[in-house]
Amino acid sequence: MFRTTLFATLAVLITGCAARTATPSQPTTGSTGSTPRVALKSAVVDGKVLPIPGFMRGINLGNGLDAPSEGEWNVILAPKHFEMAKAGGFDHVRLPVRFSAHAAEQSPYTIDPKFFERVDWALNQAQGNGLGVILDVHHYNELMEEPDAHLDRFVGLWQQIADRYAGRPNSVAFELLNEPCKNLNPVRLNALYPKVTELIRKKHPDRLIFVDSYFWASTSYLHALELPPDPQIVAQFHMYQPLMFTHQGAHWMTEEYQTVGVVFPGPPATPLTPTDGANKVSWVRDFFKNYNTLPTEKNPSGMTIVAAEFERAKKFAHEYGHRVYLGEFGAIDRADPESRVRFIQGVRREAEQRGIGWCYWDDGGQFKVMNIADGTWVQPIGKALLE
């Protein structure tokens, strides 16, 4: 989940059409010029993406081990997280972990043993509850800003992770890096990923490895991934479009996102007046103009844009032979409950009808669905996920 501002989001959000347009820097072919791509056989059979057994229906345990320190973002992982996930019918959890905040700056970049023990505990909790778990290297923000300076450290972190968990069952999957963005562009990303996958494969020949596309795991950049012909490598994307709905009023977003009252789907019964901050940004002005006036089937806050995201992911699976997975989706609690339910149900439906596994983003805060304190589910969005 992006905790910092998405400066580049304006290039991807559409205003009034079903498909997003390419950004000026977006590759127009499947290759970024590093190595030739060898495609696998299509990963789509009978109209559905091939399944990922054990990773079809999940929930994120966000803002715990991926905070600068656990508890700083008001989430401390507890056995109840895993018990509720299992009881809710989920088959796996995604475990975001900020290893970069708990490791030495100099080679060999030793990860704090106490922190590693905390990760061990979480993996044990998942296994004890019969859940798969995706161990996700999350919030390595310095790598996004200065990729060249942090490449060796990133590889060093993964060497330790791969060594430590070599004996774990294959119900533990690895996710190399959450939401690559900024200066970690596709060319750099395609040079970095092989270094890590090769070291992992030495001790984990069959383990699932999830790789996120560039631009905060955007479907628009799936085609830029250059992956080896390894069927146990899965491409991951995230689904927060339309951002003006899913992130309306989020305190960590910039001023153009502070208009609240955006419904899903549009148009609203009464035109919504955007904030002054929103009106300063041309694409946001266009979004609200179209949101207020276009019919549902063409509205930028509607299922047409959601379906287009999934079609793009399915097309990638067909053309390049790698399965795809939806690693995050959700809508902030600043949106009205009925719109949140429609969005969550709509995303689930689009994923499931294409055979794509999914994982809801629960951050213990404005996206949460689990009330850990009393063991209940936040309604009505709990029903949207569980039924």
137-175 pLDDT per residue, tens? 999 999 999 999 999 999 999 999 999 999 999 999 999
Dihedral in degrees, nearest 10, Cα atoms 351, 354, 355, 359: -10
Q: How far apart are CA 332 and CA 343, in angstroms?
A: 11
Q: Same domain for 233 and 194?
A: yes
pLDDT number for residue 39:
72
The count of domains in the chain is: 2
> Which string of b and e fits 370-380 if b means at least 16 CB within 10 Å?
bebeeeebbee
Which residues are CB-contacts of 91 (< 8 A; sequence separation ≥ 6)? 54, 55, 56, 57, 58, 131, 132
pLDDT number for residue 13:
36
Kindly tell me the burial class for residue 281, based on how many C-beta atoms sit within 10 Å of its own C-beta (0-12, 13-18, 19 or more). Answer: middle
pLDDT number for residue 38:
65
8 Å CB contact between 306 and 239: yes
Q: Same domain for 368 and 220?
A: yes
Of the three residues 296, 314, 332, the one that is the final residue of a domain is 296
Q: Same domain for 131 and 167?
A: yes
pLDDT number for residue 36:
52
Of the three residues 296, 329, 364, the one that is the final residue of a domain is 296
Question: From residue 209, how far is each of 254, 323, 334 by CA, in Å?
Answer: 33, 11, 34
pLDDT number for residue 5:
40
Expressed as residue numbers, the domain containing 284 is: 246-296
Q: Same domain for 190 and 291?
A: no
Q: Same domain for 322 and 189?
A: yes
Helix (H) or strand (E) holding 116: helix 113-128
The CB-side HSE value for 12 (13 A sphere, CA atoms) comes to 23
Dihedral in degrees, nearest 10, Cα atoms 68, 363, 358, 151: -10
pLDDT number for residue 365:
94
Give the predicted TM-score (pTM) of the model: 0.92
Q: How far apart are CA 162 and CA 184, in angstroms?
A: 22
Q: How far apart are CA 126 and CA 70, in angstroms?
A: 18
Question: Which DSSP letter does residue 262 get?
Answer: -
Q: Same domain for 318 and 264?
A: no
Which residues are CB-contacts of 376 (< 8 A; sequence separation ≥ 6)? none
8 Å CB contact between 301 and 36: no
**Residue ranges in the chain whose pLDDT is less than 50:** 3-35
Q: Which residue has the tokens 């060319």?
A: 187
Q: Same domain for 290 and 338?
A: no
Antiparallel, parallel or unpaired: β 357-360 and 324-329: parallel
329-381 pLDDT per residue, tens? 999 999 999 999 999 999 999 999 999 999 999 999 999 999 999 999 999 99
